[in-house]
Amino acid sequence: MAAQQVFASIITIGDELLIGQTIDTNSAYMAQELNKIGIWVHRRVAVGDVWEDIWKSLEEEGRVSQVVLITGGLGPTADDITKPLLCQYFEGKLMINEEALFNVKNIFQNILKRPLLERNLKQAEVPDVCTVIQNKRGTAPGMWFEKNERIFISMPGVPHEMKGMMIQTVLPELKDRFALPPIIHRTLLTAGIGESFLAERINDFETTLPSNIKLAYLPNYGMVKLRLTARGRSEKLMAELESEFDMLKEKVQDVMVVDEDLTMQQVVGRILASRHKTMGTAESCTGGYVAHLVTSVPGSSVYYKGSVISYANELKHEILGVDSKIIDQYGAVSKETASQMVKGALRVLKTDYALVTTGIMGPDGGTAEKPVGTVWIGVGNAGKTETHHFHFRFDRQRNTELTATNALNILRKFVLQDH
C-alpha cells in the first residue's frame, strides 16, 4: 500500500479553556504523538460547552481532515454535552456498554470506595454507532466514530486518561488504518541568542534550503530550538536532511547547546551523569523552580541531591552561612551574597557542584539601583566560584523561568569547562 498524507484536526471542548482557567496541554500532546507516526495536524480548535459551536466544529473539521480528535465534555455533570451531541450527530442512540459499566463499578466500589450515583452509572452509556475505547485510567469511555470516510475519536479531557487511550488504542489503530509517510525531524537547541539575531545569522542557509525540507524556529525563555523537517524515508531524502542539518550546526556552533531535541535540564543531567558528578541548588528568587526542572527528568536522582529554598534572609544566614554583614552591606541580591550562597550550598548539600539564584522577580520590590528583574546567579565547586548578573524585563513568571533556564545553562558551561 502506497504511503498517503493524512491530516488531523484537534477539537478541545470546555468553557474553562476559553477563559484561561485551564491550560490546554492536551492539544500539544496529541499533536506531538500524531506527528511521530506521520499524521500532520491541520488545525487545532477550542470551543466552549455550547451545542451549536461543537456541532459546527465537527462539520468544519470533518471537511478538511481525515481524522478528528476530540477531548472534553464526557463527565457526569449537566454541562458535559459531548456524548449526547455525538450520539445525535452520528444518528445513534445511547446504550449501556457492559465493559464500561463494570469498569465504573469497580473504580467506585473497590478503588475509591465511594457510593455509586446514578449519574456515575450513566458514564457507561455510549452511542450504539461507535466503537468503545475502554478507559483504563478513569470512568468515562472513549468513542470511535466513522462517517463519510472520516474518523472522529472522542476522549476525556483529563490528560492522564486521554494519554492512556492514545497510547493503548488510538495511535496503534491509526497506524494500522493508514499507510503513513514518516515525518522526520532534526532538532538542535541554542541558548544566549535571540530569535531575530539567529534568523539573521542563518538567513542565507534558510533561503537556499531544498523545497522538501522545512525550517522552524521554536523560541522559549532564553533558548531557541531550530528544527528541520522532511516527509518520507528514502535514502536520498535522509542523506539530504543530514547534510542540511550538518550545515545548520556549523552556522550556530558557538551558541548550540545540543544537536538533539532535548531540554536544558536534560542536557545538564546527561553531562553530570556521564561524569558521575552531583549537583544541588540554593534558590531564593526562583523558589525551587530550578529544582523542579532538574527533577522533572527521569533518573535525576543519580546526579541531583537536593535544594535549600532560602527565600528569607535569615535562612541564607542560618542555613547557608551567608554573613549577615554581607547582606546588610550589599543586599540579598548581590554578587557577594550569591557567592556565599554557593559556598554554603556546597557545604550543606555535599555535592560536586552548587547552583544558586537570588533576585527580584516583581512586580514590586525593585529600586533605582536594583530594578525588578535584577538577578544574580552563582555556580561553583570546591575549587572555584562564579557569579553572573542579569537584568530581565518581564513579569514575575517569565523572569523566574528565564532565571532558571539561564542558571542551568551557566551550570552546563561550568561543568564542561571543569577538568
> What's the chain's average pLDDT?
95
Q: How far apart are CA 41 and CA 359, in angstroms?
A: 41
Spell 29-39 as b/e; 16+ CB within 10 A means b: bbbebbeeebb
Contact 228, 246 (CB under 8 A): no
Q: Sketch the domain layout of the chain as residue ranges.
A: 6-177, 183-258, 264-417
CA distance 331 to 333: 5
Q: In whole angstroms, how far apart are CA 51 and each of 13, 48, 54, 83? A: 10, 9, 5, 11
Tens of pLDDT, residues 373-405: 999 999 999 999 999 999 999 999 999 999 999
Query: Under CATH, which number does the domain 6-177 receive?
Result: 3.40.980.10
Amino acid at 139: T
pLDDT of residue 2: 56
For the cut 90, the answer to whether the pLDDT of residue 115 exceeds it is no
Q: Which fold has domain 183-258?
A: Alpha-Beta Plaits (3.30.70)
How far is it, in rounded angstroms, from Cα 160 to Cα 307? 29
Task: For the full predicted model, state whether its pTM sits above 0.85.
Answer: no
For residue 178, pLDDT over 90 is answered with yes
H-type alpha helices, 90-134: 98-106, 118-121
Tens of pLDDT, residue by residue over 35-79, are 989 999 999 999 999 999 999 999 999 999 999 999 998 888 877
Fold of 264-417: Maf protein (3.90.950)
